[in-house]
Amino acid sequence: MFRFILKKLLYLVPTMIGITLVAFGFIRLLPGDPVLLMAGERGVSPERYAQIAAQLGYDKPVWQQYVHYLGNLLQGDLGNSLVTKKPVLDEFLALFPATVELALVAIIIATVIGVPVGVVAAIKRGSWFDQISMTGALVGFSMPIFWWGLLLIILFSGVLGWTPVSGRISLMYFFPQVTGFMLIDSLLSGDEGAFASAVSHLILPSVVLATIPLAVIARQTRSAMLEVMGEDYVRTARAKGLSPRRVIAVHALRNAMIPVITTIGLQVGVLMAGAILTETIFSWPGIGKWMIDSISRRDYPVVQSGLLLIAAIVMIVNLIVDLTYGLINPRIRHK
Amino acid sequence: MTDTTVKISDAAIRRRMLREFWFYFSQNRGAVIGLVVFVLLVLTAIFASLIAPHDPTQQYRDALLVPPIWQDGGRAGFLLGTDAVGRDMLSRLIHGAQYSLFIGIVVVAIALTGGIIIGLVAGFFGGWVDTVIMRVMDVVLAFPSLLLALVLVAVLGPGLTNAMIAIAIVYQPHFARLTRAAVMGEKAREYVTAAKVAGAGNLRLMFKTILPNCLAPLIVQATLSFSSAVLDSAALGFLGMGAQPPASEWGTMLAEAREFILRAWWVVTFPGLAILVSVLAINLMGDGLRDALDPKLKRS
């Protein structure tokens, strides 16, 4: 197992370096002088220009600039935002919990609904439940989620008036931030109204974000179940006279879950892309909205480092998925 | 083997394969529905200026935010109502079909061509060439596709052309990986060795001998990418990074309609519905194609 983990980690190194190269190259590919872009100033004097260039290390050859950049990264220095002047890393860490909370709730919704739907659809293959749920899954898979979010706002906020249109919590509640997760913090504050407010703010965005993963998980679970149920060991279990329920729960489901867990893990990238759209629609103060705002404000240090951090997170989660996969499926580990 | 099989020409074999393909494809009801909708969409795009009742950019100043015809206040000239500056929704939607299809075709063409060449080179030559190419593809895949496309558009500048290029670059690795995997499977087959012994050069081996046998998964991926391209370009348009107003691209239309969502449901509902229906139709077709082209599924 140790060798397996080590191999996977080593495999990650070139990709990590590649990601830093993309982030490093991004600023230099932008139209315009990178020094001025990173400084965010206009009409600078030649002295000031030289000063900024030296400060950012842009007066040296490109490979030294890259080494300089990597050195800063390793020290946790990701530059400062042009707009707020605060360190990018601090901003990221302040906004990240909001996105994690949204994404976690979304993936929980998607799994809790998607897996049972897929299992039942596979068991009752060809039934009306199978047909309706799989048609629904294909619709969900084809959904432009930015439009879906707007529709839900029209219905639940506009017509029914059940949920707020935007934000994480009503402004009237104030309590200490312990975990950064609104749901947990509001619970800890002991104020039931605050918790209810947090839930009502979270429900629409998380449903919107869950839509595509839910569809993917349901489809994947169904096909994994169908495949497993045709295997010899399932037929053997049935022939032994085990109850159908036991065959499905013990023999089929456990084996079918292996590819499904991978699928769930691989939704992280989908969730990050979806978070950009969902957070924009619901004014959710997370890193997706932060990236969009930074791109439109030309706050390039934020875009550069945000790109790097998001890619790194997606890779790390994918690594964890890989390792879990090796843990539950020894065949992969020993290959 | 009888004499008759020997006499069958290439064209006859092709016809027979097509007939077999259609047999399996037409058994999938969803796929046929998808195909019909898609054909209608193509016809709408081709004949847009003939079908559309109005010019898509013509602003009727006396008809701002007119609701659809069946609702109170609807007007006979505007079947699906008008938007905030008095443009006919139906005409804009019809012209929007051109954008979506054009984007899908261009993105898939670029990504497919690039991906096939990269994948062929990697799979055929193997060794360090393969390692380097695949590591680069891994890097591209490490970024969430929409985010990378957004950043690429930030580099290239907002607009339809740049959005298409960005999306195509992001999709390329999927085609490269598929091609590579297929090529590596085919490379060791006897017919390739035979062609090599007969003196075929590398280029001929790659493109004429091996590639035609790797096409099935690529066709399926192309349909999937087509629908994703329609979705992603609409998302870019919605975020203000794709086609720019007054273009009647569906995502851009949604972006313009956002502030009216609680006042005029039709300006939000119809463009999104158009996106959903087109993407769904293409995905239905993709499912049917996969079933018809995958020999493993055929037997079961």
A205, A161, A156, A162: which is closest to A183 by C-alpha? A205
Distance separating alpha carbons of residues A104 and A99, to the nearest angstrom: 8
Instruction: Give every CB contact of residue A179 below 8 A, 6+ residues apart in sequence.
Output: A97, A185, A188
Cβ–Cβ under 8 Å, residues B70 and B78: no
What is the per-residue pLDDT across A237-280, written as a single tens digit (0 to 9) for each?
888 888 888 888 778 888 888 888 888 888 888 888 899 999 99
Taking the Cβ of residue A29 and every Cβ of chain B, the question of whether any pair is shorter than 8 Å is answered with yes
Distance separating alpha carbons of residues A51 and A5, to the nearest angstrom: 45
Question: What average pLDDT does this structure show over B240-257?
Answer: 88
CB–CB of B272 and A154 under 8 A? no
CB-based burial label for B201 (10 Å; 0-12, 13-18, 19+): exposed
pLDDT at B289 over 90: no
CB–CB of B142 and A19 under 8 A? yes
Q: How many CA atoms lie within 13 A of A187 on its CB side?
A: 7
CA B55, B56, B61, B67 torsion: positive or negative? positive
pLDDT at A81 over 80: yes
Using a CB-CB distance cutoff of 8 angstroms, which residues of chain B are in contact with residue A133? Answer: none
**Whether the predicted interface score ipTM is above 0.90:** no
CB-based burial label for A111 (10 Å; 0-12, 13-18, 19+): buried
Residue carrying the six token digits 């005409």: B91
Query: What mean pLDDT is reported for chain A?
Result: 85
What is the DSSP code (8-state) at residue B88?
B
pLDDT at A332 over 70: no
Cβ–Cβ under 8 Å, residues B209 and B189: no
Cβ–Cβ under 8 Å, residues A47 and A54: no
Using a CB-CB distance cutoff of 8 angstroms, which residues of chain A are in contact with residue B29? Answer: none
Cβ–Cβ under 8 Å, residues B133 and B123: no
**How far out from the chain centre does Cα A187 lie?**
24
Give chain B's domains with CATH numbers: 36-298 (1.10.3720.10)
pLDDT at A35 over 80: no
What is the per-residue pLDDT across B64-74, written as a single tens digit (0 to 9) for each?
888 888 888 77
Q: How far is A144 from chain B (nearest CA, A)?
A: 6
For chain A, what percent of residues have pLDDT higher than 90?
28
What is the DSSP code (8-state) at residue B95?
H
Taking the Cβ of residue A45 and every Cβ of chain B, the question of whether any pair is shorter than 8 Å is answered with no
Identify the pLDDT of residue B295. 59
Taking the Cβ of residue A34 and every Cβ of chain B, the question of whether any pair is shorter than 8 Å is answered with no
Give chain A's domains with CATH numbers: 95-285 (1.10.3720.10)
Identify the pLDDT of residue B300. 39
pLDDT at A335 over 70: no
Q: How far is A18 from chain B (nearest CA, A)?
A: 6
Distance separating alpha carbons of residues B170 and B229, to the nearest angstrom: 10
Instruction: Give every CB contact of residue B76 below 8 A, 6+ residues apart in sequence.
Output: B69
Those of residues 122-181 in A touching chain B at CB distance below 8 A are 135, 138-139, 141-144, 146-148, 150-151, 153-154, 157-158
Cross-strand pairs, B82 = B88
Instruction: Give every CB contact of residue B125 below 8 A, 6+ residues apart in sequence.
Output: none
Cβ–Cβ under 8 Å, residues A317 and A271: no
Q: Which of A10, A147, A150 to mutate to test the interface with B (most CBs of B within 10 A)?
A: A147
Identify the pLDDT of residue A41. 67
CB-based burial label for B86 (10 Å; 0-12, 13-18, 19+): middle
CB–CB of A295 and B151 under 8 A? yes
Identify the pLDDT of residue A11. 81
Cross-strand pairs, A87 = A80
CB–CB of A280 and B239 under 8 A? yes
